[in-house]
Amino acid sequence: MFISKVLQALLFKFFRLGFCVYVYGKKELYARGHQAMRYGERVLYSRRYQGGGYKKRALYARRYQGGYGKRALRATPLHALLLMLCLCTQPFDEADSFTFSVADVGQGLAQFGVKDGRAVLWDMGLPNQYSAWRGVYEKLGKPDIVSIVISHSDADHLGGLQYLDHSIKWNGVVAVSPFEDTVKIRAAAGVWASRVRFEIYAKGDTMRTLSDVEIICLWPPKEIELDLPLDGSLRNRYSLVFSLRHGHCRGLITSDIDSTAMMTIAAQSGYGLASQILVAPHHGSAGSVNQLFFSYTSARTAVISCARQNNYGHPSQEMLNHLIIGGTDLLFTYLDGTITFVSNGHYWSNNID
* Residues in touch with Zn ion (CB under 5 A): 156, 256
Q: How far is the CB of 333 from Zn ion (least distance, A)?
A: 13
Q: How far is the CB of 341 from Zn ion (least distance, A)?
A: 21
Q: How far is the CB of 194 from Zn ion (least distance, A)?
A: 27
SS3 14: helix
Q: Which is nearer to Zn ion, 11 or 234 (CB)?
A: 234
Cα(271)–Cα(280) distance, rounded to whole angstroms?
17
> What is the SS3 assignment for 24-81?
EECCEEEEECCCCCCCCCCCEEEEECCCCCCCCCCEEEEECCCCECCCCCCCCHHHHH
- Of 326, 208, 200, 204, the C-alpha closest to 265 is 204
Cα(340)–Cα(338) distance, rounded to whole angstroms?
7
CA angle 278, 283, 287 (to 5 degrees): 100
Q: How far is the CB of 312 from Zn ion (least distance, A)?
A: 9
The burial class, CB within 10 Å (0-12 / 13-18 / 19+), for 86 is middle
Cα(139)–Cα(124) distance, rounded to whole angstroms?
16
Q: Which is nearer to Zn ion, 256 or 258 (CB)?
A: 256
SS3 142: coil
Q: How far is the CB of 22 from Zn ion (least distance, A)?
A: 52
Q: Which is nearer to Zn ion, 243 or 255 (CB)?
A: 255
Burial code (b: 16+ CB inside 10 Å, e: under 16) for 37-46 equals: eeeeeebbbb
Q: How far is the CB of 185 from Zn ion (least distance, A)?
A: 15
Helix (H), strand (E) at residue 291: helix 291-297
Q: Which is nearer to Zn ion, 270 or 313 (CB)?
A: 313
Q: How far is the CB of 154 from Zn ion (least distance, A)?
A: 5
Cα(344)–Cα(348) distance, rounded to whole angstroms?
7
Q: Which is nearer to Zn ion, 120 or 257 (CB)?
A: 257
Residues for the chain: how many in total? 353
DSSP conformational letter for 252? E
Q: How far is the CB of 102 from Zn ion (least distance, A)?
A: 13
| Distances from the Cα of 209 to the Cα of 67, 126, 169, 196, 254, angstroms | 50, 26, 15, 17, 20
Q: Which is nearer to Zn ion, 151 or 301 (CB)?
A: 151
Q: Which is nearer to Zn ion, 173 or 306 (CB)?
A: 306
Q: How far is the CB of 132 from Zn ion (least distance, A)?
A: 16
Cα(248)–Cα(216) distance, rounded to whole angstroms?
15
